[in-house]
Structure 1
Amino acid sequence: MSRDTVVAKRYAKALFDVASQEQRTVEVEQDLKSIVEAIQSNPDIEAFLSTPNISEVDKLNALSRALQGKISQTVINTVELLVKRRRTNIFPDLLDSYVKFEGESLGRADAVVYSTYQLDEREKETVAAEFGQIVHKSIRVTNVIDPSLLGGLKVVIGDTLYDGSLSGKLARLEQSFAGQA
């Protein structure tokens, strides 16, 4: 685990504790997602935040104008703290850690489901129900299209991969033949 990940985890825990007290955990998650998506989709924002030639005051003023009224004050305070401490590079790790704390608190896990086509809502609900029984949590599904699978599904929950894809089955079959040779 990198140092940034450890630091992000501490900030995420503190942010989650505050959001829990305010009973706004889901709203804070959405606000964090918005910030991470904005930074990742616009290299100018990332450059602005990481450039040492731009003063902290200018960064804080610009962020305050941009974020005021759009996201919660709790998240704005966290963003300002990270700017002051020159830790703006940890936003993606902060979001990941926050989502994990939130999931643990709510008895929920996030599953990334890789398939060859877009799953409809019924199929997502089926996957969520089946894997929810396996991990004993409610599952929130994110579907990712991966044409290399040939068929079937790959499901990632936390650090665990459930590979029911055709390409995965073929790879396991090939390994078993190689072991017999």
Structure 2
Amino acid sequence: MSAENIKVSGIAGRYATALFDLASDAKQVDVVASDLATIKTAMGESADLAKLVRSPLISREDQERAMLAVLEKLGISDLVRRFVGTVAQNRRLIALADMIDTFNQLLAAERGEVIAKVVSAKKLTAKQMEALEKELKSSIGSDVAIEADVDESLIGGLVVKVGSRMVDSSIRTKLQNLKFAMKGVG
């Protein structure tokens, strides 16, 4: 399935499609994907950056200036910096994470991959990611791009979502199920 066949909608879809087209024309799709992953990681790790992106109280100019300074420090390419600058000028930074996710969907479709969203209690090692990717590829039957997140409240285990299918093997869910089962006993 190519990126042209995937349906995207809303603000995030329009911006992500525009960025994907720009990156394709400039033959910088991999660079842009890497830069977007860096930005998403930074947004997840920095409460101040997340606040900057979400706050309607910060002026358009201040948001743009701050974001461009952060992106420069992160070593983000000119194409992505200009894109984020435009997003900030248009007061759409609040949708930046969705734009990044949609860009990744377009990229996965272009490469013939399926995106698997994996949430674990701790950051997975490269070896674990490789084993998980191999297992998912064999069960799904196509290449898999993994988007990994960490949620310490899971206690242990994984939550894997591929399309509309989800497998939750987290300890948190197992404990909740046990709690519900114990309520029925008595």
TM class, shorter-chain normalised? 0.5 to 0.7
**Who is 1:93 aligned against?**
98
Divergent runs of 4+, >6 A:
none
User: Could you say if the C-alpha distance between residues 99 and 25 of structure 1 is closer, same or farther in structure 2, counting changes exceeding 3 Å?
Assistant: same
**Who is 1:81 aligned against?**
86
User: Could you say if the C-alpha distance between residues 50 and 135 of structure 1 is closer, same or farther in structure 2, counting changes exceeding 3 Å?
Assistant: same
CA shift, 1:146, in A, is: 6.3
User: Could you say if the C-alpha distance between residues 83 and 129 of structure 1 is closer, same or farther in structure 2, counting changes exceeding 3 Å?
Assistant: same
Question: SS at 2:114's partner residue?
Answer: strand
User: Could you say if the C-alpha distance between residues 108 and 59 of structure 1 is closer, same or farther in structure 2, counting changes exceeding 3 Å?
Assistant: same
The answer to whether the Cα contact below 8 Å between 1:154 and 1:165 also exists between their aligned partners in 2 is: yes
Of 16, 20, 26, the match for 2:20: 16
**Who is 1:7 aligned against?**
11
CA shift, 1:104, in A, is: 1.0
**Who is 2:109 aligned against?**
104
Query: Aligned Cα RMSD in Å?
Result: 3.8
* 2:34 is aligned with 1:30: yes
Q: Provide the rounded CA distance (Å) in 2 between the counterparts of 1:119 and 1:44.
A: 24
Identity %: 26
* 2:72 is aligned with 1:72: no
CA shift, 1:133, in A, is: 2.9
CA shift, 1:78, in A, is: 1.3
Equivalences for residues 160-175 of structure 1 within 5 A: 160-163=165-168
The answer to whether the Cα contact below 8 Å between 2:53 and 2:94 also exists between their aligned partners in 1 is: no
Q: Provide the rounded CA distance (Å) in 2 between the counterparts of 1:82 and 1:164.
A: 38
Question: SS at 1:86's partner residue?
Answer: coil
- AA at the equivalent of 1:22: A
The answer to whether the Cα contact below 8 Å between 2:108 and 2:145 also exists between their aligned partners in 1 is: no
CA shift, 1:37, in A, is: 3.6
Of 155, 160, 166, the match for 2:160: 155
Q: Provide the rounded CA distance (Å) in 2 between the counterparts of 1:157 and 1:42.
A: 28
CA shift, 1:65, in A, is: 4.3
Question: SS at 2:76's partner residue?
Answer: coil
**Who is 1:54 aligned against?**
59
1:2-27 deviation per Cα after TM superposition (whole angstroms, max 9, x unaligned): xxx72111111111111122222222
CA shift, 1:64, in A, is: 3.8
1:123-151 deviation per Cα after TM superposition (whole angstroms, max 9, x unaligned): 4333322321333322234375768577x
- AA at the equivalent of 2:102: S
Q: Which structure: larger Rg? A: 1
Q: Which stretches in structure 1 are left out of the alignment for 5+ residues? A: none
